[in-house]
Amino acid sequence: MQPRRINILEGSTFVVSDLRGDIGLRDDGMSGLFYRDMRHLSRWQIRLNGRELDVLSAATLDYDEAVFFLIEPTGTIYRNPTLSLTRRRHVGDGMQETLELTNHGTRPIQLEVSLLFGADFADIFEIKGKLAKTGQFSRRVDSDRACLMYRHADFYRETLIRAPGAFFTDESLTFRVSLAPNQTWQSEIEVSLATQTHRPVPRRSHQPNMDDSIDEWLEEAPTLETDSDDLRRTYKRSLVDLAALRFYPETVPDASLPAAGLPWFMALFGRDSLITSYQTLPFAPELCRTTLHALANQQATEFDDFRDAEPGKILHELRHGELTHFGKWPQSPYYGSCDATPLFLVVLDEYERWTGDVDTVRKLEPQARAALRWIEEYGDTNHDGYLDYDTRNPDSGLVNQCWKDSWNSIVWPDGRLTSLPRATCEIQGYAYDARMRTARLAREIWNDPTLADRLERDAAALRDRFVADFWLPDRGFYALALDGEKQPVPTLTSNIGHLLWSGIVPDEHVDQLVNHLLGPWLFSGWGVRTLAAGQGVYNPLEYHNGTVWPHDTAIIAAGLARYGRRIEAGRLSTAILDASRHFDYRLPEVFVGYDRKSTEVPVAYPSACSPQAWAAATPLLLLRALLGLEPDGDHLRVDPVVPDGIGRLALRGIPGRWERTDAVSWNT
């Protein structure tokens, strides 16, 4: 089945269109040409003699290129078309579109090829919230170009359309074409974009907005050898998508980090970028270094209720659109994340373990200590020893500030919302892991053994307290959260798997957690559901209350591997990799939580981001779990336990403090 949309992207620029390549047809709110969180084309529709064309085929050629094969409509199956039109599109700080029109008939013909255009300059949040604009629109038409402009006080955006040889009006450009039999006409249109401070030059095809071309990016990554063609294709798709999602933050020159996902999250996110960086460390460690520096540069230094900011806190989201520019929306940056700050410390330690980059750890010591102070002081709002959250901005702040951040994700089994502040279980695991890892950095790199000893004592005390307060002995799993009255919420969710990843679970509880995670209520056969079936609130179509998130399952697999449950980790890995085949080897952000036995194929979630960073990085973390990759001083420890269905598996040239090394499993 053909996809309903064609998406291409590069960094902060992306295009979402239908199969004709058209934008804005039939009020599709997701379509457009977007740049830096705003839509620069909301209408871009091709016409042949005033009529829509029919689709033969459409496909993406690469992450930043697409092609659309169109034909004239004949209105009947008894007359074959004689005119075909091919649209070739490339995106990169703008857009180029090449048109090729061919007359397959036996008579000469005269016709008009038109493109109808428009720009609503909608902020990404205006699109999601269906909000009205408040600025002024203007346009200027010259002989071979049209400039669409939007200004609101000191905020400015511009879309410049150039088409040599075309006749322009305020809303269209038209080529008048004469074609002899079997003749092909060709022309190119260029769309340039600008803000009040940026006027990038659109790049031609194969001139990407990155230091490394896609070929160089792939060559730098480890080489995968496997008997599984599905795994090979999934691996390459993941690397290409991660390359496409890279953008260059202004605060870290000449270095890239991953945006969270297309179409709604093409921006810097704390949690998403950190988890993606963790997943990709054995494959592209540069992403991690840049992410750490970019987040450190945006770390909060003062209290700001509107942005949920507190000293030492790591941001949740950084945007560049109109609403954030004028303070109508708090994402500039917004700090409504309770888990990004401990994850920053987790990833900082993991980065040094892999790369040996002591200089970065020393340079970021002040930010790391500030993050630690936030965990110990400001992140515990009710002073009970746990990280919890309750937004300081009730009008536009996030109600839930864990990774399951939809409004109804932290609930009792019957669907009642839990009271605030909420202390979710997995964040306590992150806080435990952050203390243990920061203790290592303090002892080995910062020369502060006193801090290291204290953090290890605090971590041990947190672990004991957590087990006493969150463990539900009659149910055999940990509570989803403590609510505002410090009552444990006995909802069975995938969050318990993150506790294995962080290492906070005592050995005597592992078997019961594994039985739940691999049992029929949480494990769908394609991955681990966010919330277990059989509970009153379960809904396989609900964003965080029954769906399957690939990255969530990968973190759980890594947690199982940490506790030596390698067979179970392999079972989850196989399930997710099997699912990728049904999504053309590109794992989506999320898919429906239906049982595998009943559907036989994974079912797409209707509004899932694709590509999405931590979904794209999921196969990389699964490969690490399968091969048992773990830094051990200046060496890489390799301990493969590979499921039979994968067969031979090897990664050649894994980068790290050991320079390059191989990991090989000859399981057949």
Taking a C-beta distance cutoff of 8 angstroms, is the pair 648, 668 a contact?
A: yes
pLDDT at residue 539 is higher than 90: yes
At residue 146, the pLDDT reads 97
The CA distance from 267 to 457, in Å, is 38
pLDDT at residue 254 is higher than 70: no
Nearest CA to 603 out of 493, 497, 494, 527 is that of: 527
The CA distance from 425 to 544, in Å, is 15
Cα distances (angstroms) measured from residue 290 to each of 113, 211, 228, 254, 355: 45, 13, 33, 9, 13
Give the pLDDT confidence of 270-308 residue by residue, as tens digits: 999 999 999 999 999 999 999 999 999 999 999 999 999
Q: What is the mean pLDDT of residues 204-214?
A: 53
Give the pLDDT confidence of 159-172 residue by residue, as tens digits: 999 999 999 999 99
Give the pLDDT confidence of 74-93 residue by residue, as tens digits: 776 667 889 999 999 999 88
pLDDT at residue 207 is higher than 80: no
DSSP E strand boundaries for 82-196 = 83-91, 94-103, 109-118, 136-141, 145-152, 155-162, 167-168, 172-179, 184-195
The token duo for 652 is 């050649």
Strands 65-71 and 54-62: antiparallel
Q: How far apart are the first and last CA of the chain?
A: 34
Q: What is the mean pLDDT of residues 372-377?
A: 97
Mean pLDDT estimate for the chain: 92
Using DSSP, state whether 148 is helix, strand or coil. Answer: strand
At residue 80, the pLDDT reads 81
Tell me the CB-side half-sphere exposure of residue 656, using CA atoms within 13 A.
Answer: 26
At residue 668, the pLDDT reads 43
DSSP E strand boundaries for 18-64 = 32-35, 38-41, 43-48, 54-62
pTM: 0.90
Taking a C-beta distance cutoff of 8 angstroms, is the pair 621, 558 a contact?
A: yes
Nearest CA to 14 out of 5, 4, 27 is that of: 5
At residue 342, the pLDDT reads 98
Residue 218 CA from chain centroid, whole number? 19
Which stretch of 1-15, 222-236, 292-306, 326-340 has the lowest confidence by average pLDDT? 1-15
How much of the chain is in helix, strand and coil states, percent to nearest 5?
A: 30, 25, 45
Q: Which residues on neighbouring strands pair with residue 523, listed in sequence order?
A: 528
The CA distance from 258 to 270, in Å, is 11
Q: What is the mean pLDDT of residues 228-249?
A: 90
Q: For a pLDDT cut of 90, what percent of the chain falls above it?
A: 80
At residue 635, the pLDDT reads 96
The CA distance from 632 to 568, in Å, is 24
The token duo for 564 is 């030596």
**H helices present in 191-269, as ranges:** 214-220, 229-244
At 638, the pLDDT band (50, 70, 90 cuts) reads: very high
pLDDT at residue 125 is higher than 90: no
The CA distance from 282 to 284, in Å, is 6
Residue of higher predicted confidence among 214 and 522: 522
Give the pLDDT confidence of 543-558 residue by residue, as tens digits: 999 999 999 999 999 9
- Burial category of 531 from C-beta neighbours within 10 Å (exposed 0-12, middle 13-18, buried 19 and up): buried
Q: What is the mean pLDDT of residues 180-197?
A: 94
At residue 209, the pLDDT reads 46
Nearest CA to 31 out of 43, 47, 13 is that of: 43
Q: What is the mean pLDDT of residues 129-138?
A: 85
Tell me the CB-side half-sphere exposure of residue 333, using CA atoms within 13 A.
Answer: 24
The structural domains of the chain, ordered by start, are 6-195 (2.70.98.40), 214-665 (1.50.10.10)
Q: What is the mean pLDDT of residues 434-439?
A: 98
Give the pLDDT confidence of 413-422 residue by residue, as tens digits: 999 999 999 9
Amino acid present at 297: N
Phi and psi torsions of 558, nearest 5°: -65, -35
Using DSSP, state whether 322 is helix, strand or coil. Answer: helix
Nearest CA to 185 out of 263, 93, 111 is that of: 111
Token look-up 């457009």 returns 32
pLDDT at residue 210 is higher than 60: no
At residue 265, the pLDDT reads 83
At residue 215, the pLDDT reads 82
pLDDT at residue 356 is higher than 70: yes
Q: What is the mean pLDDT of residues 472-478?
A: 98
- Max alpha carbon distance in the chain (Å)? 88
pLDDT at residue 510 is higher than 60: yes
Q: What is the mean pLDDT of residues 634-650?
A: 93
The token duo for 633 is 């001083």
The CA distance from 206 to 200, in Å, is 17
Residue 403: partners with Cβ closer than 8 Å, 6 or more residues away: 271, 339, 426, 552
Taking a C-beta distance cutoff of 8 angstroms, is the pair 174, 163 a contact?
A: no
Amino acid present at 177: V
At residue 199, the pLDDT reads 80
At 332, the pLDDT band (50, 70, 90 cuts) reads: confident
User: What secondary structure letter does DSSP report for 416?
Assistant: P
At 667, the pLDDT band (50, 70, 90 cuts) reads: low
The token duo for 28 is 């599709």
At 250, the pLDDT band (50, 70, 90 cuts) reads: low
Residue 75: partners with Cβ closer than 8 Å, 6 or more residues away: none
At residue 522, the pLDDT reads 98
Give the pLDDT confidence of 25-68 residue by residue, as tens digits: 665 677 999 998 999 999 999 999 999 999 999 998 888 999 99
The token duo for 93 is 């700080």
